[in-house]
Amino acid sequence: MKPAYLLGSAMWSTGIASQAKWRADDFDAAMQTPTCSSVKTRHLRYTSVVTRMALNVFEQVTTDKDVNLGTLGVVFASSFGEIQIAVKLLDSIDTDGAPSPASFMNSVHNTAPGHLSIACRNHGISTAIAAGSQTVSSALLEAMLLLQESCSTVALVLADEEFPEVFNDSFPSLAVCLLLQAKASSQSLCTLDGIRIAKEVVPVSLPHFAGNPIAPAASLLQAIASKKPGPHRLDLEQDEGWCVSLSFPE
Amino acid sequence: MGDLLPTSGPLAITGWSAVNALGTSRAAISESLYGGASGLRSCPLELPFTTFCGTVGDEMPPLPSKYQDYECRQARLALGIYQGVSSAVDTALKKWGNARVALILATSTGGIAETETALQVHRRKGHFPAHFQMERQHNFYAHCRFLKMTSGIGGPSFVISTACSSSTKVFASARRMIAADVVDAVLVGGIDSLCLTTLHGFHSLGILSDQRCKPFSGERKGLSIGEGGALLLLEREGESAVSLLGCAETSDAHHMSSPHPEGLGAILAMKQALEESGLSPQEIGHINAHGTGTLHNDASEARAVAEVFGRHVPVVSTKGYTGHMLGAAGATEAVFACMALEDQRIPKSLGADPVDEAIEMQVNQKQQERVLKTVASNSFGFGGSNACAVFGANS
């Protein structure tokens, strides 16, 4: 399989507005919902944190890049997707038997890529996947396959929001976007290659994001930021052991 | 789409299995499909409105005790369907090696039916049922992980969830994976189970019929929901009666729940699927339409089909038999496409009579036996997600 070239990356998490803020330990505990400007306010009204995070990181990474938003491929990935809306829908069914139609149409797993395609007037390939603890590796694989098949640029958007309170399982919301290209350019930040199983590679755990299924995406960002070459684990110790190799321009 | 590169050639479909409202075996499904018998019955769930559903009548097998954590309706359906294709998968695992076989499933409901029950218990008792686990029942990937462990498949595995286009998009992902030489075979499919969320949700949108759905009919009043699913084994090479020739995915970029009125994204998907298959529109012998039975979806799809194929290709919606199986619809209709090619028979579009006069394509109102070389199958979903797959008979 051919390598992919990273043109840019972005992240958002509860209290953390960007990668720069994360690296600077500049947290704002009051910040619970990300901002997004590409989707009209009336369309945003019934969307969840997971969709807004996805839109936010996509906007962050594409704002100053010379890419055609109308043709790029979009791979959205999330383990639990629209879990907050799903539980609210069930609450409303149980209480008055009449869920909001706007909430229902924003409850599908591909809500975020759907809004993105509308905002970008993109008629190309857009997909949404889930793979439990293998979500990050599976999504990266699908993005790299799309680059090899038909797309010159792919936005890989990973996001999982915190669980509804009823589940009593706490982790911060987190979203990461990687803007990947099929061909290297002078602006390429990193090469991702050789996605494979290598259980011997030790995963890097980030305690701050522990429990969030896409936490390995944050550790990938960290490895890229620190320009650490070599294989990087995309899952946790108990998982299958999927890795990608990173290399950096001189 | 960017600069289009060639993908793989035809992929052999070396096994398939389906479970739906028509039955749990090929013989039972075939008897109802060609007998023109609907599987839609009065919905068994307690609802404050009337609707018909395509529920799976036969008991699904319980999970082996070592997989009890995954026990739920969704996983039972997965196991029930898998049993029909397991011998073909075993053969592929021996032929290619476990790591060279992938698993790509689709769902729109996942195991949410289990969560519905668990939340009801939580409201009454203040705690979840002892067996309930979000990760192993609710999660979209749970039934995929269970099937991976059950089958011994060792390659990549994931779930695609793009609402009602999900299990046609699995064919595109499988083609990419085989073309890139990541694997040699992929078990693809889609599985959805009946749940309150989708029934109430579609009712809230005003598009759930209170009768059996009547796709393309002038009397259509909306969709009927179905459950079940299908699995198909795709291999780089192998003996088979039918092959996957091509598959394309596009976006409407128009609205979250309504199709583009002129069928723009659908037209692009059908044209690109033909291009990838190396076929002209005139070479398609039959279309299995998305055909949900809602006013706007059927009108939009009919415009798109007429634009690409003209008015001479027999078009069938099989949702009058099974109901709309949502994330499992594409794979189920791929199996119907395979059956049509294997049996050289096009079923009638059940419920279409009288066909809407505004529908300007050839809705197939009478079963036909004829030489059939190719079938196209459409799936469209929320978020403006479109997919079209083309299947061909092997001579």
Q: What is the ipTM of this complex?
A: 0.97
pLDDT of residue A11: 98
Q: For residues A148 and A142, what is the distance between their CA atoms, to the nearest angstrom?
A: 10
SS3 B169: helix
Question: Could you give the number of structural domains in chain A?
Answer: 1
The answer to whether B352 and B363 have CB atoms below 8 angstroms apart is yes
Residues 6+ apart with CB under 8 A from B130: none
Joined tokens for residue B388: 């079209």
Backbone angles phi, psi at A142, to 5 degrees: -60, -40
The residues of chain B scoring below 70 in pLDDT are: 1-8
pLDDT of residue B351: 97
Nearest to A234 by CA among A225, A226, A246: A246
In a domain, A202, yes or no: no
SS3 content of chain B, % helix, strand, coil (to 5): 40, 20, 40
In a domain, A195, yes or no: no
Between strands A73-77 and A153-160, the pairing is parallel
pLDDT of residue B8: 66
Active site residue B247: no
The residue type at A133: S
Summarised one tens digit per residue, pLDDT across range B155-169 is: 999 999 999 999 999
Alpha carbon A60 to its chain centroid, in Å, reads 12
Q: For residues B163 and B329, what is the distance between their CA atoms, to the nearest angstrom?
A: 10
User: What's the DSSP call for residue B126?
Assistant: S
Active site residue B260: no
pLDDT of residue B367: 96
CB contact under 8 A, B161 and A152: no
Using the Cβ of B34 and the Cβ atoms of chain A, whether some distance falls under 8 Å is answered with no
Summarised one tens digit per residue, pLDDT across range A82-125 is: 999 999 999 999 888 789 999 999 999 999 999 999 999 999 99
Q: For residues B293 and B224, what is the distance between their CA atoms, to the nearest angstrom?
A: 8
CB contact under 8 A, B1 and A150: yes
Residue A143 lies in domain: 4-189
CB contact under 8 A, B255 and A118: yes
The residue type at B301: E
Joined tokens for residue B228: 């079940």
Nearest by CB to residue B201, choosing from A71, A99, A151, is A99
Q: For residues A113 and A147, what is the distance between their CA atoms, to the nearest angstrom?
A: 17
In a domain, A61, yes or no: yes
- Partners of A51 on chain B (C-beta within 8 Å) are none
Average pLDDT value for residue range A214-220 = 96
Lowest mean pLDDT among A9-13, A18-22, A26-30, B301-305: A26-30
User: What's the DSSP call for residue A221?
Assistant: H
Active site residue B296: no
SS3 A139: helix
Task: Point out which residues pair with B226 in neighbouring strands.
Answer: B54
pLDDT of residue A169: 81
- For residue A135, the domain's CATH number is 3.40.47.10
For the domain made up of B11-393, give the CATH fold. Peroxisomal Thiolase; Chain A, domain 1 (3.40.47)
Q: For residues B103 and B149, what is the distance between their CA atoms, to the nearest angstrom?
A: 11
